[in-house]
Amino acid sequence: MNIVKQYDTKEWKPAIAKANMKKAIQAVGLNNIAAVYSANDGMAGAVIEALEEAGATKMPPVTGQDANLDAVQRVVSGEQYMTVYKSFLLEATNAAKIAVAKVQGRAIEFAALTRETVDSPTQKNVPAMLVPVVALTKDNIKETVITDGVYTVKDICTPSTRRTARRSGSTSRPRSVGRRPPSGSVPAWPSSV
């Protein structure tokens, strides 16, 4: 898969992401867009708006990150293929543990809190406590954001979400949140526009 257009979206602003997507559509043509990788859900929503405004009748896979409620609703409705989910509770709990250790004067590298390291643009081997990353799709919503108590089915499956799902041809219904995919089905999506 070739990345045909790539944009550094200033401050990750949705309005700028939408303008960038419009430029990509003009440059490569609506029907030549196989997928869109977006760095967060706000920008993914703006990308979807640009595709809809350009007349997309079938939405290419669009990805996001953060598992924002509106993004999870777009996943259910079939407008957004997936969003990256990291357990908010686990992130907050781990951050609190690290903060307490630091305040107590303990070296977090040796307190079994930070077993991993990451590199930043300015520093190597920065102690880190990484959390699992999950590609949230309509097939695992129940096991992720609902089980973790982030959202309820009622939060996600609003009348508006159901209407959008019907319009987009999505087979998702409120009762299907968390349904397993048929065996042998493996969704695939490239990280390109």
In whole angstroms, give the CA distance from residue 60 to residue 189.
9
Residue 156 confidence (pLDDT): 96
Q: Give the residue extent of every domain in the chain.
A: 10-83+155-176, 89-128
What homologous superfamily is domain 10-83+155-176 in, according to CATH?
A: Response regulator (3.40.50.2300)
* pLDDT over 50 at 179, yes or no: no
Residues 6 or more apart whose Cβ sits within 8 Å of residue 128: 114, 116, 117, 118
| E strand segments, the chain | 36-37, 62-65, 82-86, 116-118, 126-128, 133-136
**pLDDT grade, residue 98 (50/70/90)?**
confident
| Whether 182 contacts 98, CB under 8 Å | no
Residue 6 confidence (pLDDT): 95
* pLDDT over 50 at 183, yes or no: no
Question: Would you state the structure tokens that stand for residue 173, as one six-digit string?
Answer: 């219904």
Enclosing H/E stretch for 163: helix 159-168
* pLDDT over 50 at 178, yes or no: no
Residue 177 confidence (pLDDT): 32
In whole angstroms, give the CA distance from residue 127 to residue 131.
13
- Summarised one tens digit per residue, pLDDT across range 109-164 is 666 777 888 999 999 988 888 889 999 999 999 999 999 999 999 999 988 877 76
Of the listed ranges 37-41, 71-75, 79-83, 166-170, the one predicted with least confidence: 166-170
CA distances from 32 to 2, 37, 89, 118, 193 (A): 11, 15, 40, 37, 9
Burial class of residue 34, CB neighbours in 10 A (0-12, 13-18, 19+): middle
Q: Considering the chain, what percentage of its residues have pLDDT values greater than 90?
A: 63
